[in-house]
């Protein structure tokens, strides 16, 4: 998995490509995102995962949702908009539901402009 990070208008823009296969990889990904949000002092993250192949499962989503990283992001008031491909949408919504049930403010989108509109509203 490869990440490109940009800070724009008080929002961390992250483009993620490659493949993620395990919950541990997702947790490391979440750790990087949280660390960068803290480093740049931002509460909004725009993820572009249209180039990411996620082969994890709904169990992995649940495990990630129970992680310390997600708990810390929730406490810090971080808001995450995730843009995915049509192929990745169903699994991304599974992650969204698991994370939202742990009070993380997150939403999945197919279009980047809709994601930015939600993030800035």
The pLDDT score that the predictor gives to residue 9 is 86
Question: Which residue stretches of the chain have pLDDT < 50?
Answer: none
Question: Which is nearest to 93 in space by CA: 82, 102, 104, 103?
Answer: 82
Domain 2-120, CATH: 3.30.750.24
Beta strands 44-54 and 79-83 are: parallel
Rounded-to-integer distance, Cα 11 and Cα 41, Å: 9
pLDDT at position 70: 92
- Name the β-bridge partners of 107: 81
Global confidence as pTM: 0.93
Residue 12: other Cβ atoms inside 10 A? 21
Domain extents for the chain? 2-120
């Amino acid at each position: 998995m490869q990440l490109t990070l940009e800070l724009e208008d008080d929002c961390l823009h992250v483009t993620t490509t490659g493949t993620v296969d395990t919950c541990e990889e997702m947790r490391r990904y979440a750790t990087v995102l949280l660390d960068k949000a803290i480093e740049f002092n931002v509460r909004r993250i725009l993820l572009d995962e249209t180039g990411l192949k996620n082969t994890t499962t709904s169990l992995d989503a649940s495990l990630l949702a129970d992680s310390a990283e997600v708990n810390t992001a929730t406490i810090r008031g971080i808001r995450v908009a995730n843009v995915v491909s049509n192929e990745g949408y169903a699994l991304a919504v599974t992650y969204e539901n698991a994370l939202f049930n742990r009070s993380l403010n997150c939403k999945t989108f197919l279009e980047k402009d809709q994601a930015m509109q939600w993030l800035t509203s």
